[in-house]
């Protein structure tokens, strides 16, 4: 009985902590998602730039080979 009471108190304390931290956790989660989105967007933009550079290089090589 005493052990069960202690466990119940601990779970109530954890619930209170979770409620207090929930807004902070939500903000952290939103920030993480935004960072991931920006990182992915930067990676996609860089890959597009590389693709364009490779096309230009291939064009130059083709014109050199034709000569």
Report the chain (67 residues): mean pLDDT per 10 consecutive residues: 82 76 81 88 95 96 87
Distance of CA 17 to the CA centre of its chain: 26
**What's the pLDDT at 66?**
83
Which residue has 């956790």 as its token pair?
Answer: 25
Give me the pLDDT at residue 23, please: 79
Report the pLDDT value the prediction gives residue 19, as an integer from 0 to 100. 72
**How far apart, in whole angstroms, are the C-alpha atoms of residue 31 and residue 62?**
46
pTM for the full predicted model: 0.52
Nearest-angstrom CA–CA distance, 42 and 31 = 16
Q: What is the DSSP string of 3-46?
A: HHHHHHHHHHHHHHHHHHHHHHHHHHHHHHHHHHHHHHHHHHHH
């Amino acid at each position: 009985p005493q052990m069960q009471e202690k466990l119940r108190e601990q779970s109530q304390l954890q619930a209170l902590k979770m409620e207090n931290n929930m807004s902070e956790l939500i903000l952290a989660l939103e920030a993480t998602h935004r960072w991931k989105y920006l990182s992915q967007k930067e990676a996609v933009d860089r890959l597009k730039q590389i693709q364009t550079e490779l096309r230009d290089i291939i064009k130059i090589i083709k014109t050199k080979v034709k000569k």
